[in-house]
Amino acid sequence: MPGTRVAVVGGSIAGCAAALALHRTGHHDITVHERTTGELSARGVGVAVHEGRYRELAAAGYLDPAMAHLRLHGRHWYVRAPGDGPADPLGRRIRTEAFDFRTYNWGPLWRGLRARVPGTVRFRTGSAVTAAAETPDAALLTTAGGAVEPYDLIVGADGYRSVVRAAVGPGGRPAYAGYLAWRGAYPEERLPDAARWDPAAAAYVVFPGGHVVLYRIPGERGGPRVNWVLYTAPPADADLPFSAPAAGFAGLDLPGSAPSSVPPGRVGTVLREHLAALTAEHFPPFWRQVIDLTEPGELFVQPMYDAIASPGATGRIALIGDAATVARPHTGAGAVKALQDATLLESALRDGGALPDALRAYDSARESLGRTMVDLGRSLGAALVTGAPDWRTLDDAALAAWWRGADAAGAFGGQRTPEEPEAR
């Protein structure tokens, strides 16, 4: 399809991967529309990639060993038990198990993918897309300035708040799951006794009604960074009408419309105080310190959502990444899902059939993997947050059995694509 004019809406990880997939399949008239004008790579939070999925994506040419990463080999589960004191700063370790993941800093990972996008691809920053539509002759994008641009193919890589999704089908709007993720990351050097924490281990610290996942990621230029994400329900007095369009976020000190996240430095007093009270009551001393050392400008909050677009493609428009499937981060496969979508799109377009047939084949493969991850996110959300057990009663064997039930499909970290592509 050498004459096809293509637009990619969104320039983050999914958008860069989509542009790369399109270029590899003979599309050379590609424009990426990215709404932000700032530096995307400034997002310094963590991304984890299962080693098996890394090998698949490296073979497909989307990841490589030169991209800055750290290796994890173990996962330790901790709980604050009655009677724990200064002699037990990490708490009681319930279980230690294998955990073969690579961790990345979002910014350098994005830069690595962005560098792979050929220079012939036009990358428009500050180009906000407000609508997409399909006619018998073209796919149309409307930008914030009111201009309408025709394309032969549009790939929506514009995240969980996707504008393009509405052009593919009326359903698929993200549904709020009833709880939040607090996130933070900062230089490890700020932590005075970091040596207590095995650098090759992720920590799961569990408490009534939730848990926090902590692991190190590469720094932008210096040493490692501490990265954490904590899941639990918001306080009852927080006004969080995430399920209602055009509603205010009084409890977040942030106006806007649902769905939305709260960026660093904008988290309101109610949520910050709730986090501090929770860690004081339920966390072993060391892990409380890890959270407390996060500065206000490094803290942000994400409501948890589920969504799957079905269909996720039409004759001229396809969705990729969170625009197509929103699975809760418990799955350990957020970036993997976006990159796998790109490999599936590349494979479908490479087969050389008519565009509608190729997009139909892509969507079938994409939806199968996506639905598995949405189901896993819901299962883990129930097991770890909304229906969490009394963690203090679990020993090694009981926790292992509980995890097998929560991840009955064995999909944690992402499933392999139906046909792993050959190395390029």
pLDDT in tens, 51-66: 999 999 999 999 999 9
pLDDT at 184: 95
Higher pLDDT among residues 173 and 299, named by residue:
299
Q: State the Cα–Cα distance between residues 261 and 418, nearest whole angstrom.
A: 33
Does pTM top 0.85 for this prediction?
A: yes
pLDDT tier for residue 256 given thresholds of 50, 70 and 90: very low
Which candidate, 102, 54, 98, places its Cα nearest to that of 403? Answer: 98
What is the pLDDT averaged over residues 276-292? 96
Q: State the Cα–Cα distance between residues 131 and 100, nearest whole angstrom.
A: 41
Query: Which CATH code of 3.40.50.2300, 3.30.465.10, 3.40.50.460, 3.50.50.60 fits the domain covering 5-407?
Result: 3.50.50.60
pLDDT over 70, % of the chain: 89
In the chain, where are the structural domains located? 5-407
pLDDT tier for residue 2 given thresholds of 50, 70 and 90: low
What is the pLDDT averaged over residues 339-351? 95
Render pLDDT for 89-147 as a digit per residue (tens, 0 to 9): 999 999 999 999 999 999 999 999 999 999 999 999 999 999 999 999 999 999 998 99
> Helices 13-24 and 106-116, interaxial angle, to 10°?
20
373 has pLDDT over 80:
yes
245 has pLDDT over 50:
no
Q: State the Cα–Cα distance between residues 336 and 320, nearest whole angstrom.
A: 12
Higher pLDDT among residues 119 and 244, named by residue:
119
Residue 132 forms beta bridges with which residues?
Answer: 141
C-alpha distances (whole Å) from 201 to each of 16, 73, 288, 409 are 30, 6, 18, 24
pLDDT at 248: 32
pLDDT at 86: 58
pLDDT at 161: 87
Q: What is the mean pLDDT of the chain?
A: 89
Q: What angle do CA 96, 408, 71 make, to 5 degrees?
A: 40
User: Cis (ω within 30 of 0) for the bond into 241?
Assistant: no
Mapped onto helix, strand or coil, the DSSP state of residue 197 is coil
What is the pLDDT averaged over residues 282-289? 96
pLDDT at 254: 32
pLDDT at 270: 87
pLDDT at 422: 45
pLDDT over 90, % of the chain: 78
pLDDT at 84: 58
pLDDT at 367: 94
Query: Beta 70-79 vs 92-105: how paired, if at all?
Result: antiparallel
